[in-house]
């Protein structure tokens, strides 16, 4: 079911479209459908098109007008006759939850009154959805975290979170694609490089795709990390 959208001019060269303020897979599918319609019809006019959990920001090459806003709304309303469901891929990503890889794992487990094995089981069990990307190039905001693992971000962020760290923040989980500051709880690490600017396609994983974490041992992590080509470590599982 399509929800009613709100439109507003955002600065001089952008239009912001917003949906109901909640994290929901149906809303995500609608956002991606609207995004595809807009890019198909007006790709030559658009500089960038980026989605959030319940929004889509379209940045144009020129200034936008109220007339353009109205035309965009009419175009998006055409999705009501479009029954298309946006396709997605499920990717399997190996994760090592050894304490040497997850610096906050023990503390996080104590904070949630759980054993570390329970945290690992609860975190690796779901199939997550990539709702949006941001904060860092290639950083994926993953929805579907077990409610038992919801946790506020750290009061004092780290200045340097290691590259490929798997972390929990709020109601979400994600992977830091590069070393950076961050306030999420680090519970593991993947040997897979999920973002590579040297590639024509820096990230294989798209918004709307799904992620399944595969638990690996420290020994397996070290073996995988020694591989020159790690592209085969991430697998399609559907």
- Name the domain boundary from 25, 46, 81: 81
Q: Do 119 and 206 fall within a single domain?
A: yes
Structure tokens given for 120: 């690992």
**Taking Cα atoms as reference points, which of 201, 185, 196, 200 lies closest to residue 229?**
196
Mapped onto helix, strand or coil, the DSSP state of residue 41 is helix
Q: What is the pLDDT of residue 59?
A: 93
Full domain range(s) for residue 29:
6-81
Residues 144 and 196 in one domain: yes
Residues 6+ apart with CB under 8 A from 219: none
Please answer whether residues 161 and 101 qualify as being in contact, where contact means their C-beta atoms are separated by less than 8 angstroms.
no
Verify that 65 and 95 share a domain, yes or no.
no
What backbone phi and psi angles, to 5 degrees, belong to 206? -110, 160
With a cut of 50, list the residues of the chain below it in pLDDT: 1
Residues in a beta bridge with 207: none
Q: Is the dihedral of CA 41, 33, 134, 63 positive or negative?
A: positive
Q: Does residue 102 sit in the same domain as residue 53?
A: no
pLDDT of 21 reads: 86
Query: Based on the domain organization, do 123 and 211 belong to the same domain?
Result: yes
Residue 3 is predicted with a pLDDT of: 64
Residue-wise pLDDT tens digits, 123-145: 999 999 999 887 777 788 999 99
Q: Strand locations in 64-223, DSSP E?
A: 90-96, 127-133, 140-143, 158-161, 165-169, 172-175, 180-182, 185-189, 210-216
In sequence order, what are the beta bridge partners of 60? 46
Can you tell me whether residue 30 is helix, strand or coil? helix
Question: 104 and 51 in one domain?
Answer: no
Q: Which of 55, 81, 107 is the last residue in one of the domains?
A: 81
- Cα angle for residues 183, 92, 221 (degrees, 5° grid): 70
Q: Is residue 34 one of the residues assigned to a domain?
A: yes
**Residue 1 in domain:** no
Co-location of 110 and 225 in the same domain: yes
CATH of the domain at 66: 3.30.1360.40
pLDDT for residue 85: 55
pTM above 0.85, yes or no: no
- The number of domains in the chain is 2
């Amino acid at each position: 079911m399509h929800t009613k959208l709100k439109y507003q001019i955002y600065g001089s060269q952008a239009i912001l479209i917003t949906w109901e303020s909640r994290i929901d897979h149906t809303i995500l599918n609608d956002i991606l459908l609207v995004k595809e319609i807009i890019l198909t019809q007006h790709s030559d006019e658009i500089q960038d098109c980026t989605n959030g959990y319940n929004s889509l920001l379209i940045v144009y090459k020129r200034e936008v007008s109220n007339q353009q806003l109205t035309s965009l709304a009419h175009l998006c309303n055409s999705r009501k006759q479009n029954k298309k469901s946006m396709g997605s891929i499920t990717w399997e990503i190996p994760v090592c939850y050894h304490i040497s890889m997850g610096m906050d794992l023990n503390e996080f487990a104590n904070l949630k009154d759980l054993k570390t094995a329970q945290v690992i089981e609860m975190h690796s069990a779901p199939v997550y959805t990539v709702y949006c990307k941001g904060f860092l190039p290639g950083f994926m905001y993953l929805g579907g975290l077990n409610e038992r693992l919801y946790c506020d971000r750290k009061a004092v962020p780290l200045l340097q979170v290691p590259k490929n760290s798997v972390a929990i923040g709020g109601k979400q989980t994600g992977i830091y694609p590069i070393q950076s500051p961050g306030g999420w709880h680090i519970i593991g690490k993947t040997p897979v490089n999920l973002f590579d600017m040297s590639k024509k396609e820096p990230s294989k994983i798209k918004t709307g795709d799904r992620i399944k974490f595969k638990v690996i041992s420290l020994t397996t992590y070290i073996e995988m990390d020694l591989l020159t080509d790690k592209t085969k470590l991430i697998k399609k599982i559907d």
